[in-house]
């Protein structure tokens, strides 16, 4: 249940706080006053996408915040825990969404940052929002199918169908990739043979290129390497007179003698001894290099040729030897698969048949469950529609698997088209008046009739739903008189077990409000702003009189308004 909704800088709203009651909350006001802006703001809080255009002119940021009494709803608690969000304190759930013209919005739950996707998940549990044009979705068979499945609790069966469908789809795609004409298969085999043989002939070794590049560098600069190494040896060891090594040794002895006068000299002498050992090691290695290294033009040519081979392979198959070898393995496996195509096709055909059988069983079970749920839902809807002004209406929900000669599944000797939602075409039909044939809702229902049919569905669904807040925008579109009275009574009954928020323009509905709000536009400091006022008893009388008679509030209109409110 929404305890309080706060909106800042959304469209015409500068700042607004709306404290809602548990029962039937009704918002009325003149057209254009901003009633639907409030529900639009609530939609933003429930995860609807937003753009900077919705932010009030002259403002850079906007926000919507609501406090829910939701701490005892298990689904909410589970979502908070799964998302790593703080638990509710005192059963209060606080959701806030901030918008910015630069598009960098933020979402918070109980003070912690979260994503829009998490907001949508929580919103699905908290609120059932029926927008201005949602009843038009009844014109689409896919929506009718979804409504039937949701009411019948068929999500598990439907998920089983979706899983089986995906398995069959993957299997069919794999088989189709292998099923190619013979000429194409031969061409592909020839290409793979060439690639496999070219890479195999090169006898690649991982890291070979790096080793060869180092060797080429040595061979290309052989003369300089030899000259500099020999010069270094002369300096360190072989030059006439004292060598560098001998000089280090002599200096170490001198410092050692001085250590009796200054202990620091002994430490420096030790350091020179270590340096002498290091120099001796370098001298040995340089001597080994000088003795073993020789310029070899033939070897340099061989290295260049090998690097050229590697370069050509890298340009074709990968940036490194490891990538080329991986390409070789992949090509080898593909060639093996193509060479054994007949056996692979037979295996895939068996797997496809098994997958199609599993899908057919799942789709048929779902179809049977829909038939049963459809019959029960139709009877329940007839009862609800009778109370909503449809006298002796007959409602029918047709569940018909769609036959298709090229369909993926079959039962009872017939082939059917099947998708992830099953094989059925669902169609809601109604005969609004006695003697008329049942025809599709999409062909005979007016906007007002569609609105009432959707309300009837919502009423039935609410009995099994865990959602405790229901929001209706313009549910009274296209109706009036006794029908409006019936809709008002139905909303009032629905509010007995749910918090219901309704935007209405009819007095017959507004009279049932447990809490009545007036939405108005006003000009403050030269700017138009939407304001919402909670009405007291006298305020309700005046607003309902306005809904009945317009702005001319005569004593007669006021008397009729009081009578309507007091009417049982």
What is the pLDDT at residue 186?
81
Answer whether residue 154 is part of any domain: no
Answer whether residue 404 is part of any domain: no
- The answer for residues whose C-beta is within 8 angstroms of residue 59's C-beta and 6 or more apart is 9
Distance from C-alpha of 373 to C-alpha of 361, rounded to nearest angstrom: 18
pLDDT < 70 positions in the chain: 71, 131-139, 180-182, 218, 222-223, 225-226, 228-245, 251, 254-255, 257-262, 290-296, 445-448, 463-467, 568
Q: Which of 277, 299, 319 is the last residue of a domain?
A: 319
At 509, is the secondary structure helix, strand, or coil? helix
Distance from C-alpha of 3 to C-alpha of 477, rounded to nearest angstrom: 27
Q: Which of 298, 319, 340 is the last residue of a domain?
A: 319
Q: Which of 260, 286, 319 is the last residue of a domain?
A: 319
Answer whether residue 335 is part of any domain: no
User: Is the Cβ–Cβ distance between 237 and 283 less than 8 Å?
Assistant: yes
Same domain, residue pair 546 and 497 = no
What is the pLDDT at residue 421?
94
Distance from C-alpha of 558 to C-alpha of 538, rounded to nearest angstrom: 10
Q: What is the CA radius of gyration of the chain?
A: 41
What is the pLDDT at residue 295?
63
CB atoms within 10 A of CB 462: 17
What is the pLDDT at residue 234?
67
- The answer for residues whose C-beta is within 8 angstroms of residue 245's C-beta and 6 or more apart is 236, 237, 276, 279, 280, 283
**Pairing of β 106-109 and β 112-114:** antiparallel
What is the pLDDT at residue 375?
95
Same domain, residue pair 541 and 530 = no
Same domain, residue pair 32 and 69 = yes
Same domain, residue pair 215 and 116 = no
Same domain, residue pair 515 and 564 = no
Own/partner long-range contacts of 431-440 (Cβ < 8 Å, ≥24 apart): 431/393, 431/394, 431/396, 432/390, 432/393, 433/391, 433/392, 433/393, 434/391, 434/392, 438/394, 438/396
Distance from C-alpha of 67 to C-alpha of 26, rounded to nearest angstrom: 19
What is the pLDDT at residue 88?
87
What is the pLDDT at residue 418?
94
Distance from C-alpha of 207 to C-alpha of 214, rounded to nearest angstrom: 11
What is the pLDDT at residue 417?
94
User: Is the Cβ–Cβ distance between 12 and 519 less than 8 Å?
Assistant: no
DSSP bridge partners of 137: none
Q: What is the pTM of this model?
A: 0.61
Answer whether residue 429 is part of any domain: no
Same domain, residue pair 270 and 228 = yes
Answer whether residue 298 is part of any domain: yes
CA 16: distance to chain centroid?
31
What is the pLDDT at residue 493?
86
What range defines the domain where residue 270 resides?
208-319
DSSP-derived secondary structure for 263-315: HHHHHHHHHHHHHHHHHHHHHHHHHHHHHH----HHHHHHHHHHHHHHHHHHH
Same domain, residue pair 127 and 3 = yes
Same domain, residue pair 481 and 556 = no
Answer whether residue 362 is part of any domain: no
Same domain, residue pair 14 and 119 = yes
Answer whether residue 262 is part of any domain: yes
Same domain, residue pair 1 and 90 = yes
Q: Mind listing the pLDDT tens digit for each residue in 506-534? A: 999 999 999 999 988 888 777 888 888 99
Total number of domains constituting the chain: 3
Same domain, residue pair 240 and 295 = yes
CATH number reported for the structural domain that contains residue 67 in this entry: 3.40.50.300
Answer whether residue 387 is part of any domain: no
Same domain, residue pair 483 and 552 = no
């Amino acid at each position: 249940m929404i305890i309080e909704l706060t909106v800042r800088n959304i469209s015409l709203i500068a700042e607004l706080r709306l404290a809602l009651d548990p029962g039937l909350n009704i918002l009325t006001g003149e057209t254009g006053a901003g009633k639907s802006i409030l529900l639009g703001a609530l939609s933003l809080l429930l995860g609807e996408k937003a753009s900077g255009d919705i932010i009030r002119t002259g403002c850079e940021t906007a926000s919507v915040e609501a406090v829910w009494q939701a701490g005892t709803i298990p689904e909410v608690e589970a979502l908070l825990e799964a998302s790593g969000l703080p638990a509710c304190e005192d059963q209060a759930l606080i959701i806030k969404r901030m918008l910015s013209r630069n598009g960098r919005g933020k979402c918070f739950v109980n003070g912690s940052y979260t994503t829009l996707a998490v907001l949508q998940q929580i919103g699905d549990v908290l609120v059932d929002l029926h927008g201005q044009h949602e009843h038009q979705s009844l014109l689409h068979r896919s929506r009718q199918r979804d409504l039937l499945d949701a009411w019948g609790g068929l999500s598990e069966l439907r998920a089983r169908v979706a899983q089986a469908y995906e398995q069959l789809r993957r299997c069919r795609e794999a088989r189709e990739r292998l099923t190619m004409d013979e000429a194409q298969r031969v061409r592909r085999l020839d290409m793979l043979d060439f690639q496999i043989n070219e890479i195999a002939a090169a006898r690649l070794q991982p890291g070979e290129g790096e080793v060869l590049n180092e060797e080429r560098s040595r061979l290309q600069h052989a003369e300089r390497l030899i000259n500099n190494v020999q010069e270094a040896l002369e300096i360190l060891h072989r030059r006439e007179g004292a060598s560098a090594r001998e000089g280090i040794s002599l200096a170490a002895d001198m410092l050692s003698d001085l250590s009796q006068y200054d202990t620091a000299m002994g430490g420096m002498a030790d350091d020179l001894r270590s340096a002498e050992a290091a120099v001796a090691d370098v001298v040995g290695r340089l001597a080994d290099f000088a003795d073993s290294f020789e310029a070899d033009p033939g070897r340099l040519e061989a290295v260049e040729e090998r690097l050229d081979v590697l370069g050509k392979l890298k340009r074709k198959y990968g940036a490194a030897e490891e990538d080329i070898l991986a390409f070789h393995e992949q090509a080898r496996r593909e060639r093996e698969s193509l060479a054994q195509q007949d056996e692979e096709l037979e295996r895939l055909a068996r797997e496809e048949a098994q997958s199609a059988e599993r899908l057919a069983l799942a789709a048929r079970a779902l179809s049977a469950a829909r038939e049963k749920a459809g019959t029960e839902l139709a009877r329940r809807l007839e009862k609800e529609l009778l109370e909503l002004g449809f006298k002796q209406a007959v409602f029918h929900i047709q569940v018909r698997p769609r036959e298709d000669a090229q369909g993926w599944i079959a039962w009872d000797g017939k082939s059917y088209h099947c998708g992830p939602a099953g094989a059925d075409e669902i169609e809601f039909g109604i005969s609004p008046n006695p003697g008329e044939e049942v025809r599709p809702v999409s062909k005979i229902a007016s906007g007002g009739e569609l609105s009432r049919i959707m309300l009837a569905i919502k009423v039935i669904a609410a009995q099994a739903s865990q959602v405790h807040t229901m929001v209706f925008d313009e549910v009274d579109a296209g109706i009036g008189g006794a029908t409006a009275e019936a809709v008002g009574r139905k909303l009032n009954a629905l509010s007995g077990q749910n918090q219901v928020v309704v935007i209405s323009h009819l007095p017959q509905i507004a009279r049932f409000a447990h809490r009545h709000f007036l939405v108005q536009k006003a000009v403050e400091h030269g700017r138009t702003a939407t304001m919402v006022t909670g009405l007291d008893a006298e305020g309700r009388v005046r607003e309902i009189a306005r809904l009945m008679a317009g702005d001319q509030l005569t004593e007669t209109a006021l008397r009729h308004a009081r009578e309507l409110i007091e009417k049982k």
